[in-house]
Structure 1
Amino acid sequence: MELTNHRSAAPGSAVGAATLPLSLTVVRHGQSTANAAFEAAEAVGALDVGISCRDADLSLTALGRSQAEALGRWIAARGEGPLPQSLWVSPYLRAQETAEVVLATLDDAGLPLPDIRTDERLRDRELGILEMLTSAAVELQHPREAARRRLLGELRWRPPGGESYADVALRLRSLLRDVREADASRRVLLVAHDAVVLMLRHIIDDLDEAELDKVLRAGAVGNTAITRWSRADEGQLRLDCYNAAPHLD
Structure 2
Amino acid sequence: MNKTTHWWWIRHAPVDSGGIIYGDNDVDCDCSDPRLFRQVAERLPRDAVWVTSHLRRTRQTAEAFASHAGLELAEPHVDPRLAEQGFGDWQGLTHDQLRQRDEFDWHRFWITPARTRPPGGESFADLMERVRYAMNDLLQEHAGKDIICVAHGGTIRAALGVALGLEPERALRFAVDNCSLTRMDHFSDTAEPPHDISAEDSWRVSLVNFPPQS
TM > 0.5 between the two? yes
Distance 1:137 1:164 in 2: 20
Q: What's the CA shift for 1:176?
A: 1.0
Q: What's the CA shift for 1:138?
A: 1.9
Q: 1:192 to 1:31 in 2, by over 3 A?
A: same
Q: What's the CA shift for 1:237?
A: 2.1
Q: 1:208 to 1:54 in 2, by over 3 A?
A: closer
Compare the two structures and name the one with the higher strand fraction. 2
Distance 2:27 2:210 in 1: 24
Give TM-score, length-normalised by structure 2.
0.82
Q: 1:59 to 1:150 in 2, by over 3 A?
A: closer
Partners of 2:40 and 2:180 within 8 A in 1: no
Q: What's the CA shift for 1:150?
A: 3.5
Q: Which residue of the partner structure matches residue 141 of structure 1?
A: 101
Partners of 2:41 and 2:66 within 8 A in 1: no
Q: Which residue of the partner structure matches residue 103 of structure 1?
A: 66
Q: What's the CA shift for 1:83?
A: 2.8
Paired residues, number: 203
Q: How does 1:220-235 map to 2 (within 5 A)?
A: 220-231=175-186
Render the CA deviation track for 1:83-104: whole Å, top value 9, x for unaligned.
Answer: 3510110111211110121223
Render the CA deviation track for 1:103-148: whole Å, top value 9, x for unaligned.
Answer: 2334xx3x46467211111111110111132222221111111132
Q: What's the CA shift for 1:70?
A: 4.1
Task: Specify the code of the residue in structure 2 equivalent to 1:66.
Answer: D
Name which of 76, 91, 96 aligns with 1:116: 76
Render the CA deviation track for 1:137-178: whole Å, top value 9, x for unaligned.
Answer: 221111111132144x11111001001011111111111111
Q: 1:97 to 1:169 in 2, by over 3 A?
A: same
Partners of 1:222 and 1:243 within 8 A in 2: yes
RMSD over equivalenced CA pairs, Å: 2.8
Q: What's the CA shift for 1:55?
A: 5.0
Compare the two structures and name the one with the higher helix fraction. 1
Give me the identity figure in percent.
Answer: 23
Q: Which residue of the partner structure matches residue 130 of structure 2?
A: 171
Name which of 13, 30, 35 aligns with 1:30: 13
Structure 1 stretch 135-144 or stretch 190-199: which is displaced more?
A: 135-144
Partners of 1:28 and 1:192 within 8 A in 2: yes
Task: Specify the code of the residue in structure 2 equivalent to 1:125.
Answer: Q
Distance 2:185 2:66 in 1: 22
3-state secondary structure, aligned to 2:25: helix
Partners of 2:9 and 2:183 within 8 A in 1: yes
Task: Specify the code of the residue in structure 1 equivalent to 2:104.
Answer: R
Higher Cα Rg: structure 1 or 2? 1
Q: 1:112 to 1:100 in 2, by over 3 A?
A: closer
In the TM superposition, structure 1's runs of 4+ consecutive aligned residues that sit over 6 Å from their partners are: none
Distance 1:233 1:176 in 2: 14
Partners of 2:23 and 2:85 within 8 A in 1: no
Distance 1:84 1:25 in 2: 12
Q: 1:115 to 1:58 in 2, by over 3 A?
A: closer
Name which of 135, 156, 167 aligns with 1:197: 156
Give TM-score, length-normalised by structure 1.
0.71
3-state secondary structure, aligned to 1:101: helix
